[in-house]
Structure formats: structure tokens, C-alpha cells
Amino acid sequence: MTDSTAEPGTNRLKLLSLQIGYDPTSPPPYTNSEPSSSSQAPFVLPANAKPCNFVILTQKRSPLKGTYILDPSLDIPSAWLPPLPEDETEETRSNFYAKSEHGDVASELYLLDKPILRGRKKVLLNVLSGKGTASVHIEGPSPPFTLHSHSNYLLGGILVKIPRSFKGSITVGTKDGPVLMSDAISSQASVFNDAMVLNNESGCATISFEDEDFVGKDTGCLVG
């Protein structure tokens, strides 16, 4: 973990990187092919929602709130797809995108464990609030997914609830507020000892081991 505490008047982040559901000192767990009735609550889909894919929701000042069943196998004809947000391309089109510039965003997502469309590796989720709280509740034995959640609001925050089956990495950055984890999350979290954040608007960025004299081939930057 890099505790780069933000100083007043700076844009530096406090960064926390951790892994959930992974213990490098333990062998791979035994997987029982028979489902367990006692390990998890049954996965029940909401009756008032229908499967969807490539959802885009945007608001200027109003909040966004809703429940959605995401089926990553649904191939939507291009003529029926909503226009892309400014920060996305067809290659990076989110399976679910919700953004409010001045309101809260609260999304409850049920991810169906179905094959992902050809050419895509993961389910992409974006829940963003410019001046509010961004919250997302993910349920289901989901396929691999990447979630990006962002809030700029000083009095807002980010609230994320993930399925118990989640195994992967989480990176959290805050300027002033703390990072809070439940006891169950903390007990499964392996905090990375080291992390780097490199930000350079104009010049080059070069990485090498400390005992190397390395010159970037294309940049001419020297790090030794």
C-alpha cells in the first residue's frame, strides 16, 4: 500500500491496492462441482426488470436510480445502440454506463453468468457522479467484470457492494476521506505492499530497477 497522504492544496491521492479472494501462500482451493445450498443465498432475479446489455444513462442535474439485469451475451444491433458517451469508443463501450453530473447515482446490477460476446474479454461497468454519491450493488455468480466508479464531490462518496464470488484486485484512491472495508472484506483482503502512480502531463515517464543505467529508446530519458 502506498499511503501518499494528500497535502493541502495538492492533487495527490491516498492510494490503496488490494486483492480479494487470493492467498499466495495457499494452494488453489478444492472446488466441489455440486452446488452448496448453505454457502450462499439463492440468486433471485427481480421480477420487475428484463435482461439488457449496453445500457447508457446520463443526466445533468437529476439523480439516477434503478435495478438492471445485465446479460453480456445479448448482441444488440448497432442501429439500436444508444449514442456513446464522450469518454468511450465502440471498443470500450460499457455494458452498463450511468453518469450524473450533479446528482447521485445508485445502481443495483444483477450480472448473469453467460458467455461474453466475441471480441470482448470482460463485462465493463461505469458508475459515475460528478457532484454526488456513486453507489453500485452487484449481485450474481457473475462473469469477469471491470468496475470503474468515480465521484468528485467533497461531501459525496463511493459505495460498492460486490458478490461473495468476487476474486480480483481493487484499487481505491481518495484525497481526503478514508477507505472503509467491512470485516468480511478485510478478512479476505491481501494488501499490496508497493504501488506506484505516475502522472506526467508533458515529459516522458521511464521505469527501471534502481541498479540500472537505463535510457529509454524513444524518449532519451535517463533513470539510474
Q: Kindly report, residue by residue over 95-114, the tens digit of the pLDDT.
A: 999 999 999 999 999 999 99
The residue among 195 and 6 whose pLDDT is bigger is 195
Contact 143, 124 (CB under 8 A): no
Q: Is residue 65 over pLDDT 90?
A: yes
Q: The cell 449481485 sits on which residue?
A: 139
Q: Measure CA 162 to chain center.
A: 10
Question: Given this model, what pLDDT does residue 4 score?
Answer: 35
Helix and strand numbers, DSSP H then E, in the chain:
1, 14
Question: Given this model, what pLDDT does residue 202 score?
Answer: 54
Q: Is 64 left (phi over 0), alpha (psi -120 to 50) or beta?
A: beta
The whole-angstrom separation of Cα 186 and Cα 195 is 19
Over residues 184-195, mean pLDDT: 76
Contact 43, 140 (CB under 8 A): yes
Over residues 120-149, mean pLDDT: 90
Question: Given this model, what pLDDT does residue 138 score?
Answer: 92
